Amino acid sequence: MKEIGVGLLGLGNVGAGVIKVLADNAAAIEARLGTQVRVRAIAVRSLDKDRLVDVDPALLTTDVDSVIDRDDIDIVCELIGGIDRAKAAVLRAIERRKHVVTANKALLAEHGEELFPAAESGGVDIYYEAAVCGGVPVIRTLREGLASDRIDDFYGIVNGTSNFVLSTMAKTGLDFDEVLADAQARGYAEADPALDVSGKDAAHKLAILIMLCFGTGVDVDEIYVEGIDRLAPADFRFAERIGSVIKPLVIARNTPDGIEARVHPTMIPANWMLADVPGAKNALYVHSYALGASMYYGAGAGMMPTAMAVVSDLIEVARNVRAGVAGSLPLRSYRALVHRPVLDIAGLRSRYYLRFSVPDRPGVLGRLTTILGKHGISIAQVVQDMPEKDGRPVVVVVVTHEAVEGDLREALADIGASAGLGEPVQVIRIMPSAAHA
């Protein structure tokens, strides 16, 4: 019985996890598939580096192309990361009629509209379950389980680092920098956490989810992205006062005018299911026409959950190969994408939490509310915290009724020019209790 040969590109955390899952679950995989999945070669940056798993040194090479070109390799598993080298490797694999499994969300988000058609023309598969939400099988669910339904909108926590940081800040009252350092010490955050805390990693995942849910490709640069690094303990204390929690959400809605797509910290009602997603966990909440509300939850990162998703893809592609249908099944839910515009965030209608730091002088609060009112921003609540020491700024929190983001931005620009603010205004969007989630 023909074995399925795999060429592994990269042997970092996830690559090591793939080796471990394939070895530890070999009997179960063979029983499910009817044949063995065997790693025949592994491309690495350095032959001398210490490994997280023991592998036969004869499998290792620094020559990526030599792995892809081997005749006994059916599936190329791309775990290099980054864009340029990974893209070149995937395109070469497609040219050599090799199927591809990847966990590279940045590659697919930025170059999927080149790679997927190339794979379809070449009659090969690209599977990518591990690219979004790690071990949570959202890709397969959206592509297959909900294939008969129409998805209207979704909300997600898709970056475990950001969720760990915000969950810990809410629980402990510590500052952002302290919690981020703890996340790095625990291995939840990279030494350079910029992609995670800036929201860029989540934006890549959001682009893939929009492709699957709405059948449209979006330019990642058109997605509104806001990081979590400006949040302070005071914001979490106030969220609790109004029965809310702050979560790092991706939000997308399919509207008649275009696609609403945004990534930012959001105040959500404490009774929402997403409010209970703790630590480094991921979750995706989907609202669709026939099924209604559904949520998919679990470990979104880490060596073993991500490796499990990669190996599941290897098994699925191997099934396709054995059945003679590889390269003929849809890779993206939709055979062809219809391009629709991404809506400008300035047109968003939302409630807002605004935290001002203003001089402790008479008339400042009145000036704030006057300018907001001039721009059509209706105020639902105002809280003023007196300074602990004379001369320190006063913290003023304003919660608005629903307003247009563009109007709010104009109002804040006017306030910044006239009120002598001590620091930039903190703006957090508030999801209404009546929303689907």
C-beta separation of 393 from 386 below 8 A: no
DSSP single-letter state for residue 50:
-
Q: Which residue reads 């509104």 in tokens?
A: 224
The helix/strand/coil state of 126 is strand
Q: How far is CA 184 from the centre of its chain?
A: 19
Q: Which of 437, 101, 77 is nearest to 270 (CA)?
A: 437
Q: Which of 14, 65, 12, 17 is nearest to 41 (CA)?
A: 65
Query: Which helix (DSSP H) or strand (DSSP E) does residue 107 occupy?
Result: helix 105-122
The token pair that represents 29 in the structure block = 């995989």
List C-alpha distances in Å: 274 to 71, 154, 213, 258, 291: 47, 11, 19, 25, 18
Active-site hit among 205, 281, 374, 389: 205
Q: Which residue reads 């006017």 in tokens?
A: 414
The token pair that represents 346 in the structure block = 């300035």
87: annotated active-site residue: no
In single-letter form, the type of residue at position 380 comes to A
Q: Say how far apart CA 205 and CA 198 lie, in whole Å.
A: 13
The helix/strand/coil state of 66 is helix
Q: Which residue reads 């979006």 in tokens?
A: 218
From first CA to last CA, the distance across the chain in angstroms is 49
The token pair that represents 188 in the structure block = 């939840």
Q: Which residues are catalytic?
A: 205
